[in-house]
Amino acid sequence: MNTKHDLLDKAFQTNHLTKEEITVLLETITPEEREILYSKALKTKQAYYGDKVYLRGLIEFSNICRQDCLYCGIRASNAKVERYRLTPGEILACCDKGYELGYRTFVLQSGEDLWYTDEMLSALVHEIKRRYYPEVAVTLSIGERSVETYQSLFVSGADRFLMRHETASQELYEKLHPTMRFEDRRACLAALKKIGYQVGAGFMVGLPGQTPADLAEDLHYLKELHPDMIGIGPFIPHSQTPLGTEKGGTIENTLVMVALARLLIPDSHIPATTALGTLHPQGREMALQAGANVVMPIITPSTVRKQYALYENKICGDDHPEDCRYCIERRIQSVGLKVDLGKGDSLQFISNM
């Protein structure tokens, strides 16, 4: 049988491990082996993307959601949330501010809020692209909609779409998402790819009931889907949810999954998530040193950003957009990497142009 060092070498050299090999690694990896894994993931990231870290300006434009996911602080049945919606004019003002700060990708993220009709969203995307053409990319993260909606938003100018698959285990998915269907999520991701979006998927680490075999399945699903971006963050409990008293995911286990994702799907973008920065003061820097290459500073207005609480104790709640912009640049430089303010298309997308 291969030793774990052999498995790490195999992942580095071939970008492949079987589900069984991944499971063995996750069940038995030592602190020393984790450091070897991070080093190999960083080398792989540098081979594909150099020392660049791409910044995306994140606008959390509504915390109203029709879904009731058991782990999420803005789930529909949480009556304690102070709900908000930004108007299209307020969203455009965020974009203007972000553009001034140098961002050339805007990520428009919300709960599944159907108040924003197809016509409103299409007009908003079209106006963002018109204002800053051809410099800016628009990324949407608005959850499950119809294929026709995805198509119309793409025609209006949306470039990318982020939708975490959350977990590749159907049993776990259906337990955590009582208002949603496992097949629907996968169908949405397949449709987005077919339409032509740069697609982001991803999952949480440390969910109650999640096993190493489930995480291995996540990586194999991502390898098959081959998304342009892979978002991996720890499960952080929110006290106003049914999972509020559960144990959260750890930074160590999350970083292992970031690094393995880099080795197995090497040309995808991988963000150093805000959730990692919430778990550890240097969480995002640690992710950048384990293969991540994107950071998404928040440009949501400070008046509402604390209300977009998918999990508790989220960092940067009182910061203004310019604070986040220059803080994160210093953090990136502190680990010997460089900010890239370009659109930062994925290598898969560039090679298919």
Cis peptide before 208 (omega within 30 of 0): no
Q: Give the predicted TM-score (pTM) of the model.
A: 0.98
Percentage of the chain exceeding pLDDT 90: 97
Percentage of the chain exceeding pLDDT 70: 100
Question: What per-residue confidence (pLDDT) applies to 296?
Answer: 97
State pLDDT tens for residues 167-213. 999 999 999 999 999 999 999 999 999 999 999 999 999 999 999 99
**What confidence tier does 318 reach under pLDDT thresholds 50, 70, 90?**
confident
Computed over every residue of the chain, the mean pLDDT equals 97
State pLDDT tens for residues 260-311. 999 999 999 999 999 999 999 999 999 999 999 999 999 999 999 999 999 9
Question: What per-residue confidence (pLDDT) applies to 57?
Answer: 97
State pLDDT tens for residues 146-167. 999 999 999 999 999 999 999 9
The pLDDT of 64-80, averaged and rounded, is: 98
What tokens appear for 45 in the block? 């990231």
* φ and ψ at residue 221, rounded to 5 degrees: -60, -45
Question: What per-residue confidence (pLDDT) applies to 267?
Answer: 98
**What confidence tier does 217 reach under pLDDT thresholds 50, 70, 90?**
very high
Secondary structure of the chain as H, E, C letters: CCCHHHHHHHHHHHCCCCHHHHHHHHHHCCHHHHHHHHHHHHHHHHHHHCCEEEECEEEEEECCCCCCCCCCCCCCCCCCCCCCECCHHHHHHHHHHHHHCCCCEEEEEECCCCCCCHHHHHHHHHHHHHHHCCCCEEEEECCCCCHHHHHHHHHHCCCEEECCCECCCHHHHHHHCCCCCHHHHHHHHHHHHHHCCEEEEEEEECCCCCCHHHHHHHHHHHHHHCCCEEEEEECCCCCCCCCCCCCCCCHHHHHHHHHHHHHHCCCCECECCHHHHHHCCCHHHHHHCCCCCEECCECCCCCCHHHCCCCCCCCCCCCCHHHHHHHHHHHHHHCCCEEECCCCCCHHHHHHC
> What is the CATH T-level fold of the domain 50-352, as seen in this structure?
TIM Barrel (3.20.20)
**Residue-level length of the chain:** 353
What tokens appear for 28 in the block? 């038995």
* φ and ψ at residue 332, rounded to 5 degrees: -65, -45
In the chain, domain spans: 50-352
* φ and ψ at residue 108, rounded to 5 degrees: -95, 110
**What confidence tier does 226 reach under pLDDT thresholds 50, 70, 90?**
very high
What tokens appear for 14 in the block? 């071939």
| CA-based torsion, 135, 48, 286, 163: positive or negative | positive
Question: What per-residue confidence (pLDDT) applies to 1?
Answer: 56
Residue 80: pLDDT above 80? yes
What is the C-alpha to C-alpha distance for residues 46 and 40, in angstroms, rounded to an integer? Answer: 10
**What confidence tier does 317 reach under pLDDT thresholds 50, 70, 90?**
confident
